[in-house]
Structure 1
Amino acid sequence: MKKVTVLIPAYNEEEVLGSLYKRLTLVVSAIAGYEFEFLLINDGSEDRTLEMVKEMRRKDKRVSFINLARNFGKETAMAAGLDYARGDAVIIIDADLQDPPELIPEMIRFWEEGFDDVYAKRRSRSGETWLKKWTANLFYKVLKKTTTIPIQEDTGDFRLLDRRVVDALKKLRESQRFTKGLFSWVGFNKKEILFDRDPRAAGKTKWNYFKLGHLAVEGVISFTTAPLRLASYLGLVVSMLAFVYMIWIIFKTLLYGDPVAGYPSIMTVILFLGGIQLLSLGIIGEYLGRIFNETKNRPLYLVDEYNDEKVRDFNG
C-alpha cells in the first residue's frame, strides 16, 4: 500500500488546527488503497499549536510532528518536513485552510497517471487586498522575465510531489530558500489544477508586506543575476551621459566663453551619481550577503522533538 504524507507547516495556528484535522480526516477517509501520514511542523509557535498536535497524535497515530528548536520560517520548515516525510508522495498544504484539502483526491489521481508534481494554481484569491494581488502579479512578471527557468504564476506551495521530486529537493541545502522557485528548478513532469483560494478559516496571516518583500527579493536573487547586470548597464549609461555632458561643458566654455554651471548643477550631478553608486552597491551587497550566509555551512534547522522524542542528532 502506498503512503501519502500530508506536510503542514504551522506557526501559531491553534485557532484553525481543529478544523484542518477534521477536514483532512474526512477527505482521506473517502480515499481507499492508501496509507496517510499527517506531518505537522511546529515552527516555534508561541500558542497552543504544539500541545494540540500532541493531543491529536495521542488519538490518531497517523499524526506525526516535528517541533523545531525555534522559529526558522516557513521555507525552512518545509525543508524539515521533506526531510522527515516517509510517504511515496508528499502533499504540502498550509494550515490556514486557504488551500482546500478536498483537492487531494484529484492530486492523487493525476499522480497515479504519471505526473511527478501536481501543483494547484489559484484561479481567484478571496480575502486578499487589491494591493497584495497587484504586487504578487508584478513580482511574478518580473521574475519570469529575469530568470531562465519556468516559473508558475499564481502558484503557492500547495502541491503533490512524487518521492523522486522530494529526494531531488532534499539535495538543495541552500540556507536562504525560495521554495516556489526550487519546485520549478528541479523540473520533472508537472500538472496544473485550478482552484479558488478561500480566505483564512481563522486567525491572522503571518505574512506582512515587509516579509513578502523580503521573500520577493529572495526569489529574484536566488534565480537570476539580472540585478547585477542591470547595475552594470546603468553604470555604463550614466558614464556615457556624464562624458557627453563634460564634452558639452568644455565645448560651450571654449567657444562661447560661458561660465561653467554653478552649485545647483554640480550638486544635482553629484547626488544623482551618488544615488546610482549606492544602488549598485546595495545590489552587490545582497548577493555578497547570500555568499556570506551560505559559506557558514550551518544546518538549515534544529529539531527539538520528533513524535514525543527529544532529538539528539542535529544533522538537519
Structure 2
Amino acid sequence: MTTKINAISIVLPVFNEEDGILNTIEVLENFVSCQIETYELIFVDDGSVDSSVDIIRQAQSQYDNIKLVEFSRNFGHQLAITAGIRYATGDAVVVMDADLQDPPSVIPNMIEKWQEGYDVVYGKRLIREGESFFKLFSAKAFYRVMRKVANIDIPLDTGDFRLMDRKVVDALSKLNEPEPFVRGLVSWVGFKQTAVSYERQERTSGVTKYPLSKMLRLATDGITAFSEIPLKIVNYVGVISILAGFLYGLVTTFTGISTLTFAITLMLLLSGSIMLALGIIGDYLYRTFDASKHRPQYVVAQSYGFAKRPNNIHAMNKQHG
C-alpha cells in the first residue's frame, strides 16, 4: 500500500523585503527539499516599491515551485494573505511572514498535528525575540482585550502563522470582507483547531512593516469585526453623561456655591466622551459603508507560475504560466 504524498502550499505576503527575501527563498527551498511532502511557495507582493518582485522573479528561473502574485498597489498584509490562500492548491496551506521570524522548522510539527486530525494548527508564541518592551506589552494587551470582547474564541499570543486544511481554506475563500482580520476569520469558520508552541525569531534584515499606526488599525479592524462591546460602551457613556448632568444640577441648586471649575471639568469630560462615542460609531458605520460598495478586495496586476486562474479572484489583468 502506497502512502499519499501531501501537497503543501506556503503563502508569504511580501512588502519591501529586498534585503532579506533571497535568504528567505534559500532557507525555504533548503527546508522543503528535505521534506517528504511536495511544496509550492506562493509569494504575494503587496505593492512593493523596491526590488522584491525582481528578486522573486529571478528565483523562479531556478526553482519551479515558486509562484508570484503581484498586487497593483499596496492593499495591506491581511489582503495579501487572503489572495495567497485563494491561489493555493495544496491539501493544506501554511501562512507565514517572509522575514523568517516564524521558523520553517515548526511546519513539520504542524503537519503532524494536521495528520492527527486537526484542521487548523496555529503557532503559539512562547518568546518574541528582538522586539521592544512596548511591542511586547501592546501585543499581549491586544490579545487579552480581544479575547475578552470578541464573540469568538481567538487564541492568545497567536499571529497569522498557521497551517489550515483545504476545507478551511475553501471556507475562508468564500468570505469577502473589505478589511479582513484573518486570524479572527479562521476562528470564526470553526473546525478542529489546536496549537504548537514555538519561539519567534528576531528579524535578521529589513524593518518591521507593522508600525504603531498599522498595529492600531489592525486592532480596530479585529475588534469592530468581531465584537459589539464598543457600541455598548457608547450606551454606558450616555448613561454616565445623564447622571453627571443630574449631579451638576443638584450641586448648583442646593449648595449655592459657584461651581465654575466643576462645570468646566464636567463639560470637558462630557464633550470628550461624546467625541469618543462618535468615533466608535463611525468605525462601525465605515465598515458597513465600505462593504456596501462591493468593490474587489484587491487588484492583481500580474501572476506568475500558476497553471490556471483561481475561480474566486475578483480582479486580475495578466497571468503568466
Partner of residue 272, structure 2: 275
Partner of residue 224, structure 2: 221
- Deviation for aligned residue 1:2: 2.5
Gaps of 5+ in 2: 316-321
Structure 2 counterpart of 1:139, from 138, 142, 145: 142
Partner of residue 67, structure 1: 70
What SS does the corresponding residue of 2:20 show, helix, strand or coil? helix
What SS does the corresponding residue of 1:149 show, helix, strand or coil? coil
- Deviation for aligned residue 1:142: 1.1
Structure 2 counterpart of 1:251, from 250, 254, 270: 254
Q: 1:41 to 1:303 in 2, by over 3 A?
A: same
Structure 2 counterpart of 1:303, from 284, 291, 300: 300
Say yes or no: does 1:162 pair with 2:161: no
What SS does the corresponding residue of 1:59 show, helix, strand or coil? coil
Partner of residue 13, structure 1: 17
Partner of residue 27, structure 2: 23
Say yes or no: does 1:315 pair with 2:308: no
C-alpha distance in structure 2 between counterparts of 1:118 and 1:263, whole Å:
60
Gaps of 5+ in 1: 253-257
Say yes or no: does 1:2 pair with 2:1: no
Partner of residue 85, structure 2: 82
The amino acid that maps onto 2:228 is: T
- Deviation for aligned residue 1:266: 3.1
Count of aligned pairs between the two proteins: 308
C-alpha distance in structure 2 between counterparts of 1:51 and 1:186, whole Å:
36
Question: TM-score, with normalisation over the residues of structure 2?
Answer: 0.91
Render the CA deviation track for 1:102-156: whole Å, top value 9, x for unaligned.
1111211111111111111110000000111011111111111111211111111
Render the CA deviation track for 1:238-260: whole Å, top value 9, x for unaligned.
212321331343234xxxxx35x
What SS does the corresponding residue of 2:162 show, helix, strand or coil? strand
The amino acid that maps onto 1:315 is: H
Equivalent residues of 2:67, 2:305 under 8 A apart: no
Equivalent residues of 2:32, 2:38 under 8 A apart: no
| RMSD over aligned Cα atoms | 1.8
Say yes or no: does 1:204 pair with 2:200: no
Say yes or no: does 1:153 pair with 2:150: no
Render the CA deviation track for 1:221-249: whole Å, top value 9, x for unaligned.
11101111011012102212321331343
C-alpha distance in structure 1 between counterparts of 2:135 and 2:66, whole Å:
34
Render the CA deviation track for 1:253-278: whole Å, top value 9, x for unaligned.
xxxxx35x254333233222211211
Partner of residue 58, structure 2: 55
C-alpha distance in structure 2 between counterparts of 1:275 and 1:43, whole Å:
37
What SS does the corresponding residue of 2:101 show, helix, strand or coil? coil
C-alpha distance in structure 2 between counterparts of 1:74 and 1:58, whole Å:
26
C-alpha distance in structure 2 between counterparts of 1:308 and 1:189, whole Å:
32
Render the CA deviation track for 1:20-42: whole Å, top value 9, x for unaligned.
1222122222222x221111111
C-alpha distance in structure 2 between counterparts of 1:26 and 1:88, whole Å:
21
C-alpha distance in structure 2 between counterparts of 1:240 and 1:118, whole Å:
49
Partner of residue 255, structure 1: none
C-alpha distance in structure 2 between counterparts of 1:234 and 1:187, whole Å:
34
- Deviation for aligned residue 1:181: 1.1
Report the structure number with the largest CA radius of gyration.
1
The amino acid that maps onto 1:3 is: A
Render the CA deviation track for 1:44-68: whole Å, top value 9, x for unaligned.
1111111111111112111111011
What SS does the corresponding residue of 1:37 show, helix, strand or coil? strand
Structure 2 counterpart of 1:190, from 165, 189, 193: 193
C-alpha distance in structure 2 between counterparts of 1:162 and 1:272, whole Å:
50
C-alpha distance in structure 2 between counterparts of 1:184 and 1:38, whole Å:
24
